[in-house]
Amino acid sequence: MAKTLFTFRYGIPAVLVLFGLGCMIFMDWPEGAEAFSLFAGAGLSVLLLNALYRIGVKGDFERDEEAAARTHFSEHGEWPEDEPKVKRQWHLPEGVMTLEDEERRAREREL
């Protein structure tokens, strides 16, 4: 699927531009230049249409995510987090004591 999509997205415009270059090289001057401009314009317009389509589809995905977030808000009363919060776990090197460790050790000695 990805290979077919890549071929349609970039292969067809590349073939059109290369065909235009071939026409410019192997044809006489005025007709070759016209053929190049026509084929290059067609290839670049196909590339631009693909880019515009992807921009439009991206907006649909963002709209669907927004609708899902609004549904979650109406059900739970809170906006869903963009990224799940991960609590950090700090690990000190062996033998290092914090102020809390010293206070706890002092309380243990008093008992």
Q: How far is CA 101 from CA 1, 3, 65, 87, 110, in A?
A: 59, 59, 46, 21, 14
Who wins on pLDDT, 59 or 15?
Answer: 15
Q: Is the pLDDT of residue 86 over 80?
A: no
Residue 41 corresponds to which tokens in the numbers above? Answer: 């314009």
- Which pLDDT does position 8 carry in this prediction? 83
Q: Which of 46-50, 78-82, 105-109 has the lowest mean pLDDT?
A: 78-82
Rounded average pLDDT over 55-82:
84
Record the pTM.
Answer: 0.55
**CA neighbor of 33 nearest in space, from 43, 14, 20:** 20
- Which pLDDT does position 47 carry in this prediction? 93
Q: Is the pLDDT of residue 90 over 80?
A: no
Rounded average pLDDT over 64-76:
87
